[in-house]
Structure 1
Protein backbone atom coordinates (compact mmCIF):
# COMPACT_ATOMS: atom_id res chain seq x y z
CA UNK A 1 0.00 0.00 0.00
CA UNK A 2 1.13 3.55 -0.75
CA UNK A 3 0.65 4.59 2.89
CA UNK A 4 3.20 2.00 4.08
CA UNK A 5 5.98 3.81 2.24
CA UNK A 6 5.87 6.61 4.82
CA UNK A 7 6.12 4.23 7.80
CA UNK A 8 9.75 4.00 8.90
CA UNK A 9 10.26 2.23 12.27
CA UNK A 10 12.60 4.11 14.60
CA UNK A 11 15.39 2.06 16.16
CA UNK A 12 16.26 3.16 19.69
CA UNK A 13 19.65 2.70 21.28
CA UNK A 14 18.28 0.61 24.14
CA UNK A 15 17.77 -2.95 22.95
CA UNK A 16 15.79 -5.89 24.30
CA UNK A 17 18.99 -7.48 25.58
CA UNK A 18 19.77 -4.29 27.53
CA UNK A 19 16.36 -4.41 29.20
CA UNK A 20 16.82 -8.10 30.01
CA UNK A 21 20.20 -7.42 31.64
CA UNK A 22 18.66 -4.60 33.67
CA UNK A 23 15.89 -6.90 34.91
CA UNK A 24 18.17 -9.88 35.46
CA UNK A 25 16.18 -12.39 33.42
CA UNK A 26 15.15 -13.17 29.85
CA UNK A 27 11.80 -12.27 28.36
CA UNK A 28 9.51 -14.60 26.44
CA UNK A 29 5.88 -15.44 25.73
CA UNK A 30 4.35 -18.20 27.83
CA UNK A 31 1.38 -19.02 25.60
CA UNK A 32 -1.29 -20.96 27.52
CA UNK A 33 -3.70 -22.67 25.10
CA UNK A 34 -6.55 -25.07 25.77
CA UNK A 35 -10.31 -25.47 25.88
CA UNK A 36 -12.58 -23.12 27.79
CA UNK A 37 -12.62 -24.37 31.37
CA UNK A 38 -9.26 -26.13 31.14
CA UNK A 39 -7.74 -23.72 33.68
CA UNK A 40 -5.60 -21.48 31.46
CA UNK A 41 -6.25 -18.19 33.25
CA UNK A 42 -6.05 -19.68 36.73
CA UNK A 43 -2.73 -21.31 35.88
CA UNK A 44 -1.28 -18.27 34.10
CA UNK A 45 -2.01 -16.04 37.10
CA UNK A 46 -0.65 -18.62 39.53
CA UNK A 47 2.59 -18.84 37.53
CA UNK A 48 2.77 -15.05 37.43
CA UNK A 49 2.42 -14.87 41.22
CA UNK A 50 5.29 -17.33 41.64
CA UNK A 51 7.50 -15.48 39.17
CA UNK A 52 6.66 -12.16 40.82
CA UNK A 53 7.78 -13.57 44.18
CA UNK A 54 11.05 -14.53 42.47
CA UNK A 55 11.61 -10.96 41.29
CA UNK A 56 10.69 -11.60 37.65
CA UNK A 57 8.98 -8.78 35.75
CA UNK A 58 5.73 -10.22 34.41
CA UNK A 59 2.39 -9.40 32.80
CA UNK A 60 -0.66 -11.53 31.99
CA UNK A 61 -2.72 -10.96 28.85
CA UNK A 62 -6.02 -12.74 29.42
CA UNK A 63 -8.65 -13.58 26.79
CA UNK A 64 -11.74 -12.04 28.40
CA UNK A 65 -9.85 -8.96 29.61
CA UNK A 66 -8.44 -8.24 26.17
CA UNK A 67 -11.88 -8.60 24.60
CA UNK A 68 -13.26 -5.86 26.86
CA UNK A 69 -10.74 -3.37 25.49
CA UNK A 70 -8.29 -3.88 22.64
CA UNK A 71 -10.40 -6.50 20.87
CA UNK A 72 -13.93 -5.52 21.90
CA UNK A 73 -14.83 -5.01 18.24
CA UNK A 74 -14.24 -8.70 17.42
CA UNK A 75 -16.68 -11.61 17.47
CA UNK A 76 -15.98 -15.34 17.47
CA UNK A 77 -16.03 -16.27 13.80
CA UNK A 78 -12.92 -18.01 12.46
CA UNK A 79 -11.85 -14.72 10.85
CA UNK A 80 -12.33 -12.73 14.06
CA UNK A 81 -10.53 -15.38 16.13
CA UNK A 82 -7.60 -15.11 13.74
CA UNK A 83 -7.51 -11.32 14.07
CA UNK A 84 -7.85 -11.62 17.86
CA UNK A 85 -4.73 -13.77 18.05
CA UNK A 86 -2.85 -11.62 15.53
CA UNK A 87 -3.35 -8.52 17.68
CA UNK A 88 -2.45 -10.37 20.87
CA UNK A 89 0.69 -11.69 19.21
CA UNK A 90 1.81 -8.22 18.21
CA UNK A 91 1.17 -6.89 21.73
CA UNK A 92 3.00 -9.83 23.31
CA UNK A 93 5.95 -9.21 20.98
CA UNK A 94 6.18 -5.63 22.28
CA UNK A 95 6.13 -6.89 25.88
CA UNK A 96 8.98 -9.31 25.09
CA UNK A 97 10.95 -6.44 23.58
CA UNK A 98 10.33 -4.52 26.82
CA UNK A 99 12.05 -7.36 28.70
CA UNK A 100 8.89 -8.68 30.37
CA UNK A 101 7.98 -12.33 30.88
CA UNK A 102 4.60 -12.31 29.18
CA UNK A 103 1.90 -14.85 29.99
CA UNK A 104 -1.10 -15.15 27.67
CA UNK A 105 -4.24 -17.18 28.35
CA UNK A 106 -6.27 -17.72 25.17
CA UNK A 107 -8.15 -20.69 23.78
CA UNK A 108 -6.37 -19.92 20.46
CA UNK A 109 -7.90 -23.00 18.81
CA UNK A 110 -6.04 -22.94 15.48
CA UNK A 111 -2.45 -24.20 15.07
CA UNK A 112 -1.79 -21.80 12.22
CA UNK A 113 -2.57 -18.77 14.40
CA UNK A 114 -0.37 -20.00 17.25
CA UNK A 115 2.41 -20.65 14.76
CA UNK A 116 2.02 -17.09 13.47
CA UNK A 117 2.66 -15.70 16.96
CA UNK A 118 5.68 -17.99 17.32
CA UNK A 119 7.05 -16.55 14.06
CA UNK A 120 6.90 -12.99 15.45
CA UNK A 121 9.65 -13.57 18.00
CA UNK A 122 13.07 -15.20 18.04
CA UNK A 123 13.52 -18.93 18.52
CA UNK A 124 13.07 -19.77 22.19
CA UNK A 125 10.96 -16.70 22.93
CA UNK A 126 7.63 -18.50 22.39
CA UNK A 127 6.84 -21.22 24.93
CA UNK A 128 3.64 -23.07 24.10
CA UNK A 129 1.93 -24.40 27.22
CA UNK A 130 -0.82 -26.88 26.37
CA UNK A 131 -3.32 -26.85 29.20
CA UNK A 132 -4.72 -30.28 28.43
CA UNK A 133 -8.10 -31.27 29.80
CA UNK A 134 -10.80 -33.51 28.26
CA UNK A 135 -13.87 -31.77 26.87
CA UNK A 136 -16.17 -33.67 29.22
CA UNK A 137 -14.23 -32.41 32.26
CA UNK A 138 -14.23 -28.82 30.98
CA UNK A 139 -17.93 -29.12 30.31
CA UNK A 140 -18.58 -30.44 33.81
CA UNK A 141 -16.69 -27.51 35.29
CA UNK A 142 -18.44 -24.95 33.04
CA UNK A 143 -17.55 -22.14 35.45
CA UNK A 144 -19.09 -19.45 33.23
CA UNK A 145 -22.04 -21.49 31.99
CA UNK A 146 -20.80 -21.19 28.42
CA UNK A 147 -20.99 -24.87 27.48
CA UNK A 148 -24.61 -25.04 28.59
CA UNK A 149 -25.44 -22.04 26.38
CA UNK A 150 -23.47 -23.55 23.47
CA UNK A 151 -25.33 -26.86 23.79
CA UNK A 152 -28.63 -24.94 23.65
CA UNK A 153 -27.48 -23.04 20.55
CA UNK A 154 -27.48 -19.69 22.36
CA UNK A 155 -23.72 -19.29 21.73
CA UNK A 156 -22.52 -20.10 18.22
CA UNK A 157 -19.01 -21.08 17.05
CA UNK A 158 -18.05 -22.32 20.51
CA UNK A 159 -14.74 -24.18 20.59
CA UNK A 160 -15.17 -27.87 21.31
CA UNK A 161 -18.89 -27.85 20.52
CA UNK A 162 -19.49 -26.46 17.02
CA UNK A 163 -16.00 -25.12 16.32
CA UNK A 164 -12.79 -27.20 16.38
CA UNK A 165 -9.84 -27.07 18.75
CA UNK A 166 -6.58 -28.11 17.13
CA UNK A 167 -4.30 -29.59 19.77
CA UNK A 168 -0.65 -28.45 19.81
CA UNK A 169 1.58 -30.96 18.02
CA UNK A 170 4.89 -30.13 19.72
CA UNK A 171 4.25 -27.87 22.72
CA UNK A 172 7.17 -27.01 24.95
CA UNK A 173 5.12 -27.83 28.06
CA UNK A 174 2.02 -29.98 28.64
CA UNK A 175 0.07 -29.80 31.88
CA UNK A 176 -2.98 -31.96 32.52
CA UNK A 177 -5.23 -30.03 34.86
CA UNK A 178 -7.63 -32.94 35.36
CA UNK A 179 -4.76 -35.07 36.74
CA UNK A 180 -2.27 -32.58 38.20
CA UNK A 181 -2.90 -30.08 40.98
CA UNK A 182 -2.48 -26.36 40.38
CA UNK A 183 0.71 -26.43 42.44
CA UNK A 184 2.11 -29.32 40.38
CA UNK A 185 1.35 -27.50 37.12
CA UNK A 186 2.98 -24.30 38.36
CA UNK A 187 6.07 -26.20 39.51
CA UNK A 188 6.39 -27.93 36.13
CA UNK A 189 6.37 -24.58 34.32
CA UNK A 190 8.76 -22.87 36.72
CA UNK A 191 11.15 -25.81 36.47
CA UNK A 192 11.10 -25.56 32.66
CA UNK A 193 12.01 -21.87 32.89
CA UNK A 194 14.82 -22.60 35.36
CA UNK A 195 16.25 -25.54 33.38
CA UNK A 196 16.27 -23.52 30.16
CA UNK A 197 17.86 -20.49 31.87
CA UNK A 198 15.00 -18.05 31.25
CA UNK A 199 15.28 -16.76 34.80
CA UNK A 200 18.78 -15.41 34.38
CA UNK A 201 20.22 -12.77 32.05
CA UNK A 202 22.99 -13.38 29.55
Structure 2
Protein backbone atom coordinates (compact mmCIF):
# COMPACT_ATOMS: atom_id res chain seq x y z
CA UNK A 1 0.00 0.00 0.00
CA UNK A 2 1.65 3.21 -1.21
CA UNK A 3 -0.89 5.76 -0.07
CA UNK A 4 -4.46 6.28 1.06
CA UNK A 5 -6.43 8.07 -1.69
CA UNK A 6 -9.15 10.24 -0.15
CA UNK A 7 -9.91 13.27 -2.35
CA UNK A 8 -13.25 13.84 -0.58
CA UNK A 9 -15.43 12.41 2.18
CA UNK A 10 -17.28 10.16 -0.27
CA UNK A 11 -14.26 8.29 -1.61
CA UNK A 12 -11.62 6.22 0.19
CA UNK A 13 -9.27 4.19 -1.95
CA UNK A 14 -6.05 2.30 -1.36
CA UNK A 15 -3.37 2.89 -3.97
CA UNK A 16 -0.49 0.58 -4.77
CA UNK A 17 0.97 -1.88 -7.23
CA UNK A 18 -0.01 -5.52 -7.71
CA UNK A 19 3.24 -7.43 -7.10
CA UNK A 20 1.91 -10.97 -7.54
CA UNK A 21 -1.16 -12.70 -8.96
CA UNK A 22 -4.31 -10.81 -9.90
CA UNK A 23 -7.32 -9.21 -8.25
CA UNK A 24 -10.94 -8.60 -9.31
CA UNK A 25 -14.04 -6.98 -7.79
CA UNK A 26 -15.63 -9.33 -5.28
CA UNK A 27 -12.34 -11.02 -4.33
CA UNK A 28 -11.69 -11.35 -0.59
CA UNK A 29 -8.61 -9.59 0.80
CA UNK A 30 -6.76 -9.65 4.12
CA UNK A 31 -4.55 -6.97 5.67
CA UNK A 32 -1.33 -8.67 6.75
CA UNK A 33 -0.63 -8.10 10.41
CA UNK A 34 -4.04 -6.95 11.61
CA UNK A 35 -5.86 -9.81 9.88
CA UNK A 36 -8.79 -7.53 8.97
CA UNK A 37 -10.78 -8.78 6.00
CA UNK A 38 -13.03 -7.31 3.34
CA UNK A 39 -13.81 -7.68 -0.37
CA UNK A 40 -12.77 -5.59 -3.34
CA UNK A 41 -15.59 -3.30 -4.36
CA UNK A 42 -13.97 -1.57 -7.34
CA UNK A 43 -10.64 -1.31 -9.16
CA UNK A 44 -9.94 2.28 -10.20
CA UNK A 45 -7.25 3.39 -12.68
CA UNK A 46 -6.52 6.46 -14.82
CA UNK A 47 -8.42 4.68 -17.58
CA UNK A 48 -11.50 4.16 -15.43
CA UNK A 49 -12.85 1.14 -13.57
CA UNK A 50 -11.30 -2.22 -14.43
CA UNK A 51 -12.61 -5.77 -14.03
CA UNK A 52 -9.20 -7.23 -13.20
CA UNK A 53 -5.71 -6.11 -12.25
CA UNK A 54 -2.61 -8.26 -12.67
CA UNK A 55 1.04 -8.23 -11.64
CA UNK A 56 2.66 -4.87 -12.35
CA UNK A 57 -0.58 -2.87 -12.53
CA UNK A 58 -0.76 0.34 -10.49
CA UNK A 59 -4.32 0.63 -9.20
CA UNK A 60 -6.56 2.06 -6.51
CA UNK A 61 -8.84 -0.39 -4.72
CA UNK A 62 -12.04 0.46 -2.92
CA UNK A 63 -13.36 -2.04 -0.39
CA UNK A 64 -16.83 -3.03 0.72
CA UNK A 65 -16.01 -2.42 4.40
CA UNK A 66 -14.43 0.44 6.33
CA UNK A 67 -11.29 -1.22 7.69
CA UNK A 68 -8.08 0.29 8.99
CA UNK A 69 -5.27 0.19 6.40
CA UNK A 70 -2.07 2.23 6.53
CA UNK A 71 0.74 3.05 4.13
CA UNK A 72 3.13 0.11 3.97
CA UNK A 73 0.47 -2.53 4.70
CA UNK A 74 0.27 -5.54 2.41
CA UNK A 75 -3.09 -6.71 1.03
CA UNK A 76 -3.27 -10.42 0.20
CA UNK A 77 -5.88 -13.04 -0.54
CA UNK A 78 -6.79 -15.42 2.31
CA UNK A 79 -5.29 -18.34 0.36
CA UNK A 80 -1.94 -16.64 -0.33
CA UNK A 81 -0.89 -14.95 2.88
CA UNK A 82 2.63 -13.59 3.19
CA UNK A 83 5.01 -14.24 6.07
CA UNK A 84 4.68 -11.87 9.03
CA UNK A 85 7.56 -11.72 11.50
CA UNK A 86 10.04 -9.44 13.24
CA UNK A 87 13.04 -11.71 12.70
CA UNK A 88 14.31 -13.29 9.52
CA UNK A 89 17.44 -14.58 7.81
CA UNK A 90 18.70 -12.82 4.70
CA UNK A 91 21.55 -12.49 2.24
CA UNK A 92 23.03 -9.01 2.43
CA UNK A 93 25.20 -7.04 -0.02
CA UNK A 94 27.03 -4.35 1.96
CA UNK A 95 27.52 -1.01 0.18
CA UNK A 96 28.98 1.48 2.67
CA UNK A 97 32.68 2.19 3.06
CA UNK A 98 32.24 1.77 6.80
CA UNK A 99 31.95 -1.94 7.61
CA UNK A 100 28.74 -3.60 8.71
CA UNK A 101 28.88 -4.37 12.42
CA UNK A 102 26.11 -6.52 13.95
CA UNK A 103 24.09 -4.70 16.58
CA UNK A 104 23.85 -1.35 14.82
CA UNK A 105 20.44 0.10 14.04
CA UNK A 106 19.29 1.01 10.50
CA UNK A 107 16.10 1.80 8.66
CA UNK A 108 14.84 -1.22 6.70
CA UNK A 109 12.60 -0.60 3.68
CA UNK A 110 10.71 -3.59 2.31
CA UNK A 111 8.07 -2.77 -0.27
CA UNK A 112 6.53 0.52 0.86
CA UNK A 113 7.07 -0.12 4.57
CA UNK A 114 9.99 1.32 6.53
CA UNK A 115 10.88 0.15 10.05
CA UNK A 116 13.82 0.27 12.43
CA UNK A 117 15.98 -2.85 12.15
CA UNK A 118 19.18 -4.40 13.47
CA UNK A 119 21.51 -7.02 12.03
CA UNK A 120 21.62 -9.26 15.09
CA UNK A 121 24.09 -11.85 13.80
CA UNK A 122 26.42 -12.25 10.85
CA UNK A 123 26.38 -15.99 10.20
CA UNK A 124 29.06 -16.02 7.51
CA UNK A 125 30.58 -14.15 4.58
CA UNK A 126 30.14 -15.56 1.08
CA UNK A 127 33.19 -15.79 -1.18
CA UNK A 128 31.99 -14.39 -4.51
CA UNK A 129 34.41 -16.54 -6.51
CA UNK A 130 33.96 -19.93 -4.89
CA UNK A 131 30.66 -19.51 -3.04
CA UNK A 132 32.39 -20.77 0.11
CA UNK A 133 31.03 -19.75 3.50
CA UNK A 134 33.72 -17.92 5.49
CA UNK A 135 33.66 -16.95 9.16
CA UNK A 136 33.32 -13.18 9.62
CA UNK A 137 32.54 -10.63 12.33
CA UNK A 138 31.99 -7.74 9.90
CA UNK A 139 31.30 -7.06 6.23
CA UNK A 140 33.39 -4.62 4.22
CA UNK A 141 32.11 -2.66 1.23
CA UNK A 142 30.89 -4.89 -1.65
CA UNK A 143 31.08 -8.03 0.49
CA UNK A 144 28.15 -10.44 0.72
CA UNK A 145 27.04 -12.15 3.90
CA UNK A 146 24.23 -14.23 5.36
CA UNK A 147 22.76 -12.76 8.53
CA UNK A 148 19.86 -12.60 10.95
CA UNK A 149 17.85 -9.39 11.08
CA UNK A 150 15.45 -8.16 13.75
CA UNK A 151 12.89 -5.40 13.14
CA UNK A 152 11.28 -3.16 15.76
CA UNK A 153 7.83 -4.16 14.53
CA UNK A 154 6.76 -7.18 12.46
CA UNK A 155 6.79 -6.82 8.68
CA UNK A 156 5.02 -8.73 5.92
CA UNK A 157 7.22 -10.38 3.31
CA UNK A 158 7.77 -13.39 1.07
CA UNK A 159 11.07 -15.20 0.59
CA UNK A 160 13.00 -13.48 -2.19
CA UNK A 161 13.00 -16.75 -4.15
CA UNK A 162 9.20 -16.58 -4.26
CA UNK A 163 8.76 -12.85 -4.89
CA UNK A 164 11.53 -10.31 -5.37
CA UNK A 165 9.20 -7.34 -4.74
CA UNK A 166 8.12 -8.49 -1.29
CA UNK A 167 11.34 -10.36 -0.49
CA UNK A 168 13.89 -7.70 -1.37
CA UNK A 169 14.81 -4.84 0.95
CA UNK A 170 17.38 -2.13 1.58
CA UNK A 171 19.04 -0.91 4.77
CA UNK A 172 19.34 2.86 5.17
CA UNK A 173 21.83 4.71 7.38
CA UNK A 174 19.80 6.52 10.04
CA UNK A 175 22.09 9.58 10.02
CA UNK A 176 23.13 10.09 6.40
CA UNK A 177 20.03 8.51 4.80
CA UNK A 178 22.38 6.69 2.41
CA UNK A 179 21.61 3.16 1.25
CA UNK A 180 23.83 0.94 3.38
CA UNK A 181 22.92 -2.47 1.94
CA UNK A 182 20.57 -4.42 -0.29
CA UNK A 183 19.16 -7.70 0.92
CA UNK A 184 17.18 -10.78 -0.03
CA UNK A 185 15.02 -12.46 2.61
CA UNK A 186 15.56 -16.21 2.87
CA UNK A 187 13.12 -17.28 5.58
CA UNK A 188 11.42 -16.17 8.79
CA UNK A 189 12.99 -17.15 12.09
CA UNK A 190 10.19 -19.07 13.69
CA UNK A 191 11.34 -18.42 17.23
CA UNK A 192 9.98 -14.89 16.83
CA UNK A 193 6.38 -16.14 16.91
CA UNK A 194 6.97 -18.24 20.02
CA UNK A 195 7.99 -15.34 22.28
CA UNK A 196 5.24 -13.10 23.62
CA UNK A 197 5.35 -9.93 25.70
CA UNK A 198 4.05 -10.44 29.24
CA UNK A 199 2.24 -7.33 30.45
CA UNK A 200 2.76 -6.14 34.03
CA UNK A 201 -0.15 -4.76 36.05
CA UNK A 202 2.09 -2.22 37.78
CA UNK A 203 3.33 0.40 35.32
CA UNK A 204 6.73 2.15 35.26
CA UNK A 205 4.93 5.41 36.02
CA UNK A 206 3.41 3.94 39.19
CA UNK A 207 6.83 2.74 40.33
CA UNK A 208 8.30 6.20 39.74
CA UNK A 209 5.41 7.95 41.52
CA UNK A 210 6.13 5.88 44.65
CA UNK A 211 9.56 7.52 44.63
CA UNK A 212 8.19 11.01 43.87
CA UNK A 213 10.31 11.30 40.74
CA UNK A 214 10.26 10.65 37.02
CA UNK A 215 12.29 7.75 35.70
CA UNK A 216 15.00 8.75 33.24
CA UNK A 217 18.31 7.72 31.72
CA UNK A 218 21.22 10.16 31.99
CA UNK A 219 23.86 9.00 29.51
CA UNK A 220 27.40 10.39 29.87
CA UNK A 221 29.65 10.07 26.81
CA UNK A 222 33.18 11.28 26.18
CA UNK A 223 36.78 10.19 25.81
CA UNK A 224 38.61 8.11 28.39
CA UNK A 225 39.87 10.53 31.04
CA UNK A 226 37.27 13.17 30.16
CA UNK A 227 35.75 13.00 33.65
CA UNK A 228 32.58 10.98 32.98
CA UNK A 229 32.86 8.63 35.95
CA UNK A 230 33.88 11.40 38.36
CA UNK A 231 30.94 13.61 37.40
CA UNK A 232 28.47 10.71 37.23
CA UNK A 233 29.49 9.51 40.70
CA UNK A 234 29.19 12.99 42.21
CA UNK A 235 25.84 13.52 40.47
CA UNK A 236 24.50 10.33 42.03
CA UNK A 237 25.64 11.52 45.46
CA UNK A 238 23.77 14.79 45.01
CA UNK A 239 20.62 13.07 43.75
CA UNK A 240 20.57 10.58 46.63
CA UNK A 241 21.00 13.47 49.09
CA UNK A 242 17.87 14.98 47.54
CA UNK A 243 15.97 11.73 48.14
CA UNK A 244 16.19 10.52 44.55
CA UNK A 245 16.37 6.78 43.80
CA UNK A 246 19.21 6.09 41.37
CA UNK A 247 21.45 3.45 39.83
CA UNK A 248 24.91 4.14 38.42
CA UNK A 249 26.20 1.99 35.55
CA UNK A 250 29.89 2.57 34.87
CA UNK A 251 31.81 1.42 31.81
CA UNK A 252 34.58 -0.35 33.70
CA UNK A 253 32.29 -1.93 36.29
CA UNK A 254 29.92 -3.66 33.87
CA UNK A 255 32.89 -5.32 32.15
CA UNK A 256 33.54 -7.21 35.39
CA UNK A 257 30.15 -8.94 35.14
CA UNK A 258 27.44 -8.34 32.56
CA UNK A 259 29.91 -7.67 29.74
CA UNK A 260 32.95 -9.60 30.91
CA UNK A 261 32.86 -11.68 27.71
CA UNK A 262 33.29 -8.63 25.45
CA UNK A 263 36.48 -7.12 24.11
CA UNK A 264 37.10 -3.78 22.41
CA UNK A 265 36.56 -4.49 18.72
CA UNK A 266 33.93 -2.34 17.02
CA UNK A 267 31.47 -5.26 17.14
CA UNK A 268 32.06 -5.81 20.86
CA UNK A 269 31.66 -2.10 21.56
CA UNK A 270 28.27 -2.14 19.84
CA UNK A 271 27.12 -5.14 21.88
CA UNK A 272 28.48 -3.53 25.06
CA UNK A 273 26.29 -0.47 24.54
CA UNK A 274 23.24 -2.54 23.54
CA UNK A 275 23.38 -4.58 26.74
CA UNK A 276 23.90 -1.54 28.92
CA UNK A 277 21.03 0.30 27.25
CA UNK A 278 18.72 -2.66 27.88
CA UNK A 279 19.83 -2.75 31.53
CA UNK A 280 19.31 1.02 31.86
CA UNK A 281 15.82 0.70 30.41
CA UNK A 282 14.96 -1.96 33.00
CA UNK A 283 16.22 0.40 35.72
CA UNK A 284 14.01 3.15 34.32
CA UNK A 285 11.03 0.80 34.29
CA UNK A 286 11.71 0.22 37.98
CA UNK A 287 11.22 3.97 38.44
CA UNK A 288 14.90 4.83 38.89
CA UNK A 289 17.07 7.56 37.46
CA UNK A 290 19.67 5.46 35.67
CA UNK A 291 23.06 7.18 35.33
CA UNK A 292 25.30 5.66 32.65
CA UNK A 293 28.96 6.59 32.14
CA UNK A 294 30.38 5.06 28.96
CA UNK A 295 32.77 6.23 26.27
CA UNK A 296 30.16 5.01 23.74
CA UNK A 297 32.24 6.36 20.84
CA UNK A 298 29.83 5.85 17.93
CA UNK A 299 26.81 8.07 17.20
CA UNK A 300 24.87 5.14 15.78
CA UNK A 301 25.27 3.21 19.02
CA UNK A 302 24.18 6.14 21.18
CA UNK A 303 21.13 6.49 18.94
CA UNK A 304 20.49 2.78 19.45
CA UNK A 305 20.64 3.33 23.22
CA UNK A 306 18.17 6.20 22.90
CA UNK A 307 15.81 4.03 20.84
CA UNK A 308 16.01 1.21 23.38
CA UNK A 309 15.30 3.65 26.23
CA UNK A 310 12.08 4.96 24.66
CA UNK A 311 9.63 6.10 25.91
CA UNK A 312 11.69 7.02 28.98
CA UNK A 313 13.51 10.39 28.87
CA UNK A 314 17.06 9.96 27.54
CA UNK A 315 19.43 12.79 28.40
CA UNK A 316 22.73 12.66 26.54
CA UNK A 317 25.51 14.45 28.44
CA UNK A 318 28.64 15.09 26.40
CA UNK A 319 31.68 15.52 28.65
CA UNK A 320 33.60 17.59 26.12
CA UNK A 321 37.23 17.35 27.16
CA UNK A 322 39.92 17.81 24.46
CA UNK A 323 42.01 14.75 23.65
CA UNK A 324 45.22 16.57 24.67
CA UNK A 325 43.81 17.21 28.13
CA UNK A 326 42.66 13.59 28.45
CA UNK A 327 46.16 12.41 27.51
CA UNK A 328 47.69 14.83 30.03
CA UNK A 329 45.44 13.52 32.80
CA UNK A 330 45.64 9.83 31.83
CA UNK A 331 44.46 8.74 35.33
CA UNK A 332 44.75 5.02 34.56
CA UNK A 333 47.82 5.18 32.34
CA UNK A 334 45.80 3.88 29.39
CA UNK A 335 46.84 6.49 26.84
CA UNK A 336 50.51 5.78 27.50
CA UNK A 337 49.93 2.06 26.99
CA UNK A 338 47.85 2.66 23.84
CA UNK A 339 50.47 4.93 22.30
CA UNK A 340 53.07 2.27 23.02
CA UNK A 341 50.94 -0.27 21.14
CA UNK A 342 50.03 -2.27 24.25
CA UNK A 343 46.27 -1.56 23.97
CA UNK A 344 44.77 -1.98 20.47
CA UNK A 345 41.51 -0.31 19.39
CA UNK A 346 41.83 2.42 22.01
CA UNK A 347 39.39 5.29 21.48
CA UNK A 348 41.14 8.51 20.56
CA UNK A 349 44.36 6.78 19.51
CA UNK A 350 43.64 4.10 16.89
CA UNK A 351 39.85 3.93 17.17
CA UNK A 352 37.66 6.99 16.44
CA UNK A 353 35.36 8.93 18.76
CA UNK A 354 32.32 10.52 17.12
CA UNK A 355 31.25 13.49 19.28
CA UNK A 356 27.52 14.13 19.69
CA UNK A 357 26.14 16.71 17.29
CA UNK A 358 23.15 17.77 19.42
CA UNK A 359 23.52 16.47 22.99
CA UNK A 360 20.96 17.56 25.55
CA UNK A 361 23.80 18.82 27.77
CA UNK A 362 27.43 19.67 26.98
CA UNK A 363 29.96 19.93 29.83
CA UNK A 364 33.40 21.54 29.54
CA UNK A 365 35.66 20.19 32.28
CA UNK A 366 38.57 22.51 31.50
CA UNK A 367 36.88 25.65 32.89
CA UNK A 368 34.61 24.21 35.63
CA UNK A 369 35.12 21.76 38.47
CA UNK A 370 32.97 18.61 38.93
CA UNK A 371 30.98 20.20 41.77
CA UNK A 372 29.85 23.13 39.64
CA UNK A 373 29.08 20.86 36.70
CA UNK A 374 26.95 18.59 38.90
CA UNK A 375 25.03 21.58 40.26
CA UNK A 376 24.26 22.50 36.66
CA UNK A 377 23.10 18.95 35.94
CA UNK A 378 20.78 18.94 38.95
CA UNK A 379 19.28 22.23 37.75
CA UNK A 380 18.80 20.76 34.27
CA UNK A 381 17.05 17.69 35.71
CA UNK A 382 14.71 19.94 37.70
CA UNK A 383 13.95 21.97 34.59
CA UNK A 384 13.12 18.75 32.73
CA UNK A 385 10.84 17.68 35.63
CA UNK A 386 12.92 14.59 36.38
CA UNK A 387 13.26 15.84 39.96
CA UNK A 388 10.34 17.20 41.97
Please say whether Structure 1 and Structure 2 have the same fold, judged by a TM-score greater than 0.5: yes
- Larger relative contact order (Cα-Cα within 8 Å, sequence gap ≥ 6): 1
Report deviation, 1:6: 1.9
Does residue 69 of structure 1 match 2:257?
A: yes
Conserved? CA contact 2:344–2:350, under 8 Å: yes
Q: What is the Cα-based RMSD across aligned positions, in Å?
A: 1.0
Pairwise mapping of residues 20-39 of structure 1 onto structure 2 (< 5 A)?
Answer: 20-39=208-227
- Alignment match of 1:137 (pick from 317, 320, 325): 325
- Alignment match of 1:163 (pick from 332, 340, 351): 351
Give ranges in structure 1 of 5+ residues lacking alignment.
none
Report deviation, 1:3: 2.2
**2: CA distance, partners of 1:83 / 1:122:** 18
Pairwise mapping of residues 91-102 of structure 1 onto structure 2 (< 5 A)?
Answer: 91-102=279-290
Residues 135-180 of structure 1: per-residue CA shift (max 9 Å, x gap): 0110011111100000000100000000000000110111111111
Conserved? CA contact 2:232–2:292, under 8 Å: yes
1:175 maps to 363
**1: CA distance, partners of 2:311 / 2:358:** 14
Indicate the structure with greater strand content.
Answer: 2
**2: CA distance, partners of 1:36 / 1:178:** 15
Report deviation, 1:124: 6.1
Report deviation, 1:123: 5.3
**1: CA distance, partners of 2:312 / 2:385:** 11
Pairwise mapping of residues 1-202 of structure 1 onto structure 2 (< 5 A)?
Answer: 1-122=189-310, 125-200=313-388
Give ranges in structure 2 of 5+ residues lacking alignment.
1-188
2:102 maps to none
Indicate the structure with greater helix content.
Answer: 1
Structure 2 length-normalised TM: 0.51
